[in-house]
Amino acid sequence: MSEPTVANWLRVHRRKAGLTQREIARLLGYDDPYQVSRHERMKTAPPLIIALAYEVLFGESVSTLFSAFRLTAASAVERSIEEFERHLQEEGKGRAAGRTAQKLQWLTDRKCPKVVDR
């Protein structure tokens, strides 16, 4: 049996800390808990400064706290990168060939990161 997917971990961390939405709201500078509730239920994404504040508050990365948003962003970026790579491969001639080759190399390196010796 697979584990349930958690869209974000705010509620889990808030409850683990024994804090109410009103208390979290106060710590983040909100006047009422409405925004915290919306963030927990993924009705809205928090502004970057608030997402970073959650990170500081709970000691977990933004990517971990908002795992569903991270997966959505990753999927969108990967699709864009695939389209970009196809575009570069089609246009890779002429005066911009050197820059195009550099970009294609970056894409290759990104797919297969090099192992660093320690």
> Any residues with CB less than 8 A from the CB of 32 and at least 6 apart, and which?
22, 25
- The overall average pLDDT reported for the chain is 89
Residue at 2 is within a domain: no
- pLDDT score for 75: 95
The span from the CA of 10 to the CA of 54, in Å, is 8
Do 17 and 50 fall into the same domain? yes
**pLDDT by 10s per residue, the chain, length 118:** 444 455 689 999 999 999 999 999 999 999 999 999 999 999 999 999 999 999 999 999 999 999 999 999 999 999 999 999 999 988 767 777 888 999 999 999 998 877 666 5
Number of domains in the chain: 2
Do 56 and 87 fall into the same domain? no
- pLDDT score for 33: 96
Do 58 and 85 fall into the same domain? no
* Side-chain half-sphere CA neighbours of 109 within 13 A: 8
Residue at 3 is within a domain: no
